[in-house]
């Protein structure tokens, strides 16, 4: 008997931001494979007796390989288990969801995707700003600041990223911010552009640092630190 996998979005960390469907799946799962940022109080919703397996990947730390995570999903499902793959933020944003889906499809295993609160929306809420505004912030874009090697991705759309009328959210960008800002400046976006750094959003350790692209480079000069964070820049970042 083949089981079933639910890709569950855990949101940015606050268990109160879980959807009702996410909680329901956690309460009925036989096994929960969770990211680092989805651990802690969120796992209290898992039923007693469920297997809890940490499979999170964090930059600069020993982490499970992606093919190992996909293999675990397949192996658990083949026992007939109801499996939750608990991903931080929203499953579909920079979480390598597609690779895990393809592994399940290849084995004929059914799955569902349960969306959730992305850390970008949670960061804007914590900073008391909207992500868009008519005329002055007409567009919002999400981009990763790191590829699989941890460096700034190649082939970035610099014209879009340097749009002064867009709100841009950079995931996993603390290590590569200085390099990103060099590219933005070369394409016309000044270092004085308003920006904020949101770390450990929606958790007791939450920290919002406001400033400019240049001042955030200086803030991170001693290293990115251990706290998960994202960078938001654009015309609305100075408000709140």
| pLDDT the model gives residue 95 | 87
Output the six-digit token pair for 35. Answer: 């990211």
Whether the model pTM is above 0.85: yes
The CATH homologous superfamily to which domain 4-114 belongs is Tetrapyrrole methylase, N-terminal domain (3.40.1010.10)
Q: Where in the chain is the domain with CATH 3.40.1010.10?
A: 4-114
Superfamily name with CATH number, domain 119-233? Tetrapyrrole methylase, C-terminal domain (3.30.950.10)
Which percentage of the chain shows pLDDT scores above 90?
87
- Give the pLDDT score at 197: 98
Distance from C-alpha of 125 to C-alpha of 54, rounded to nearest angstrom:
29
Query: Of 14, 36, 57, 207, which one is the catalytic site residue?
Result: 57
Distance CA 139, CA 143 (A): 13
Per-residue pLDDT at 203 exceeds 70 = yes
pLDDT tens sequence across 40-91: 899 999 999 999 999 976 555 556 788 899 999 999 999 999 999 999 999 9
**Known catalytic residue: 57?**
yes
Model pLDDT, residue 63: 64
* Ramachandran bin of 225, using left for φ above 0, alpha for ψ from -120 to 50, beta for the remaining angles: left
pLDDT in tens, 18-35: 999 999 999 999 999 999
Q: Where in the chain is the domain with CATH 3.30.950.10?
A: 119-233
Per the annotation, the verdict on 87 as an active-site residue is no
Burial of 60: CB neighbours in 10 Å, binned 0-12, 13-18, 19+? exposed
Among 30, 35, 90, 163, the active-site one is 35
Residues 126, 66: Cα–Cα separation, whole Å:
32
């Amino acid at each position: 008997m083949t089981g079933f996998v639910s890709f569950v979005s855990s949101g940015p960390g606050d268990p109160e931001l879980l959807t009702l469907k996410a909680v329901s799946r956690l309460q009925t799962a036989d096994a929960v494979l969770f990211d680092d940022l989805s651990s802690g109080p969120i796992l209290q919703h898992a039923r007693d007796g469920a297997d809890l397996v940490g499979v999170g990947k964090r930059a600069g730390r020993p982490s499970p390989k992606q093919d190992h995570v996909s293999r675990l999903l397949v192996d658990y499902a083949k026992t007939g288990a109801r499996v939750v793959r608990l991903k931080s933020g929203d499953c579909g944003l920079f979480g390598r969801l597609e690779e895990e889906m393809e592994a399940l499809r290849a084995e004929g295993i059914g799955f569902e995707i349960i969306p959730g609160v992305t850390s970008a929306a949670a960061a804007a809420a914590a900073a008391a700003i909207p992500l868009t505004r008519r005329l002055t912030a007409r567009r919002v874009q999400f981009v990763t600041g790191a590829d699989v090697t941890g460096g700034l991705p190649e082939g970035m759309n610099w014209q879009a990223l340097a749009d002064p009328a867009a709100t841009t959210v950079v995931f996993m960008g603390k290590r590569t911010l200085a390099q990103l800002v060099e590219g933005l400046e070369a394409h016309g976006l000044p270092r004085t552009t308003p920006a904020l750094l949101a770390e450990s959003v929606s958790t007791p350790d939450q920290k919002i640092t406001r400033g400019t692209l240049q001042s955030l480079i200086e803030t991170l000069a001693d290293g990115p630190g251990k706290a998960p964070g994202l960078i938001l820049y654009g015309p609305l970042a100075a408000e709140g």
